[in-house]
């Protein structure tokens, strides 16, 4: 038995993507080559570009393929500030951003930029008026995630975009946990720049994209042959890009139906977790149904992860991108929400996918009940 509830970390390849990748092995030309093999590869890249932009719900502008969501976020932030830094030296973000955004702003602070980190409410949401009140005449960029990757909080990006209209401040949205889930996510956000990642929607790892609205110019981070509108030099990852195009088309066509399905399963999961002794569910007022955060004070999250894994249930403690290495730490998101240390250290993140069923949720709840009870008993015995 295998119950995979860690889709916010990564997703299995969609069957359509696997088929497309197998067929694409023959497309080995360099998209920059002028001969037939190169033209064929270029056409496949452009087809994928159209598919992704259609899935975003945007018209016009440019879509730049990158090596993943982290690179896309870095390009959006640093590329914008390199080009438009003459407007001021102030930027705004929130305290609950993904590390691929948060670390960019920390680096900017070290470089002399003035950074405002807007705090969340205690339930994990961030108010639009707090973000907009932080904007000043010298604010060059506001960067806000669409969906928080740990709590599922839906941030008010459309309201922020509306509030910034008519101002010189540019607006970037990290849409990595929203793309393919919120219908027409890019159009709904109304941002100047919008990022996405392939492996969150059934495409392989190592491919992402940045959408840039019409008329906006930013600087590249990588210089070379001028591929991807001159903003991401280097031979394109043709296979990955083609796979992302197929995945984008598939998830966009079913986003609304899958959202409704996830809402029902999320309600079942939240209700089931809420009655487990000691469990504290972190549920923002407005949240994505695909992500649920729950704490078990007194237990260690990493111990719970392995205890659940032993029973075939795969969950996580939070962001997979910051759970290892020299920057590993307890959740900065939960700490920003003011959660007690015991809650932070004992947190599990459950993240659903389109393939998740009611039976999966029921079985997962049974495993969590059994393992938390067993671990709590072991702690009492040791004391």
Collect all residues with Cβ–Cβ distance below 8 Å to 300 and sequence separation of at least 6: 345, 346
Task: Label the pairing between strands 313-314 and 139-145.
Answer: unpaired
Cα(197)–Cα(151) distance, integer angstroms: 19
The secondary structure of residue 322, as a DSSP letter, is G
User: What is the chain's alpha carbon radius of gyration, rounded to the nearest angstrom?
Assistant: 21
Helix extents (H) in the chain: 15-24, 36-56, 69-84, 99-110, 128-133, 157-164, 185-189, 238-274, 301-309, 332-336, 341-345, 358-382
Helix extents (H) in 116-182: 128-133, 157-164
Residue with tokens 């018209």: 59
Closest CA to 123 of 102, 81, 151, 161: 151
Phi and psi dihedrals of 233, rounded to 5? Answer: -65, 150
Our CA angle for 129, 263, 259, nearest 5°, is: 85
How far is residue 5 from each of residues 8, 21, 314, measured CA to CA in Å? 8, 25, 6
Helix (H, G, I), strand (E, B) or coil at 18: helix
The yes-or-no answer on residue 279 being catalytic is no
The secondary structure of residue 64, as a DSSP letter, is E
Phi and psi dihedrals of 156, rounded to 5? Answer: -80, 60
Phi and psi dihedrals of 144, rounded to 5? Answer: -140, 140
Per-state percent for the chain, helix, strand, coil, to nearest 5: 45, 15, 40
Catalytic hit among 266, 279, 308, 321: 321
DSSP 260-300: HHHHHHHHHHHHHHHTSTT-EEE--SSB-TTEEEEE-TTS-
Q: Which residues are catalytic?
A: 321
């Amino acid at each position: 038995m295998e119950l995979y509830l860690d889709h916010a970390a990564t997703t299995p390849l969609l069957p359509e993507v696997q088929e497309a990748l197998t067929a694409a092995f023959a497309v080995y030309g360099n998209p920059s080559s002028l001969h037939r093999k190169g033209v064929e590869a270029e056409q496949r890249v452009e087809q994928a570009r159209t598919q992704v932009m259609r899935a975003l719900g945007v018209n016009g502008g440019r879509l730049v393929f990158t090596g993943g969501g982290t690179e896309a976020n870095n390009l959006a932030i640093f590329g914008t500030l390199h080009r438009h830094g003459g407007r001021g030296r102030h930027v705004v973000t929130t305290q609950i951003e993904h590390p691929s955004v948060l670390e960019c702003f920390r680096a900017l602070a070290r470089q002399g930029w003035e950074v405002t980190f807007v705090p969340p409410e205690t339930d994990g949401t961030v108010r639009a008026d707090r973000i907009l009140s932080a904007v000043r005449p010298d604010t060059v960029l506001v960067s806000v995630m669409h969906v928080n990757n740990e709590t599922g909080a839906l941030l008010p990006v459309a309201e922020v975009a509306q509030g910034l209209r008519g101002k010189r401040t540019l607006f970037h949205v990290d849409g990595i946990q929203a793309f393919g889930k919120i219908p027409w996510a890019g159009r709904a956000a109304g941002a100047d720049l919008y990022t996405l990642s392939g492996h969150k929607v059934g495409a392989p790892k190592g491919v992402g994209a940045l959408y840039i609205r019409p008329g906006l110019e930013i600087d590249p981070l990588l210089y070379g042959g001028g591929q991807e509108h001159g903003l991401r030099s280097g031979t394109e990852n043709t296979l990955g890009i083609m796979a992302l195009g197929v995945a984008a088309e598939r998830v966009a066509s079913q986003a609304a139906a899958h959202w409704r399905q996830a809402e029902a399963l999320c309600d079942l999961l939240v209700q089931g977790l809420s009655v487990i002794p000691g469990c504290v569910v972190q549920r923002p007022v407005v949240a994505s149904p695909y992500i649920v955060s729950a704490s078990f004070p007194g237990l260690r999250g990493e111990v719970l992860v392995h205890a659940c894994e032993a029973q075939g249930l795969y969950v996580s403690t939070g962001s997979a991108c910051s759970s290892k290495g020299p920057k590993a730490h307890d959740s900065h998101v939960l700490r920003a929400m003011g959660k007690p240390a015991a809650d932070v250290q004992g947190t599990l993140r459950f993240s659903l996918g389109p393939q998740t069923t009611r039976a999966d949720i029921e079985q997962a709840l049974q495993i969590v009940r059994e393992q938390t009870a067993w671990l709590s008993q072991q702690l009492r015995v040791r004391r």
